[in-house]
Amino acid sequence: MGALGKFVYRGVHANHPALKAAWEGIVVPGNVEGTVSAEEHNAGGISDGSPFTSWTHDPRVAGSYARRTGPGGVVLRVRIDAPPAGASWSWEWSPDIFRESERESEVLLRGIRKEVEVIGHADLETGTRPSIGER
């Protein structure tokens, strides 16, 4: 399996309410106790009440989300392994209704996850990865 199959990526734009946590390698959903279903989350417009965060297998898609509101966003990366026993997070199936139009190939993460790799404000189209200190 290639590197793209081992990792998923999340782009967090510069105006996102969880941007500071993202820069610290912490992923926080809109509402960790939320009752929004995977289907509702995927349909959009209610992420502030969702226990999920959206991830993609395509780093270019994550980069486009990170740049959505201009400079200052961040791209995160995690292995797509199973959560360890007692973890505060889990993976969840996504109906992925945008797969064809945006190449999103979405995966949902339920809960809070720490120690996430911060790639930075990388230009994932060209592969350039500036240092984290350049943010």
What pLDDT digit, counting tens, does each position of 16-64 carry? 999 999 999 999 999 999 998 887 887 777 778 899 999 988 888 899 9
Domain span holding position 71: 3-126
Q: Is residue 44 part of a domain?
A: yes
Q: Is residue 83 part of a domain?
A: yes
Structural domains in the chain (count): 1
* Confidence (pTM): 0.80
- DSSP code string of 14-74: TT-TTHHHHHTT-B--S-TT----HHHHHH-S-GGG-SEEEEES-HHHHHHHHTTTSTT-E
Q: Is residue 93 part of a domain?
A: yes
What pLDDT digit, counting tens, does each position of 71-101 carry? 889 999 999 899 999 999 999 877 765 555 5
DSSP SS3 for 108: strand
Q: Please give the single-letter amino acid code of residue 121.
A: H
Q: Is residue 135 part of a domain?
A: no
CATH number of 83's domain: 3.20.170
Q: Is residue 42 part of a domain?
A: yes
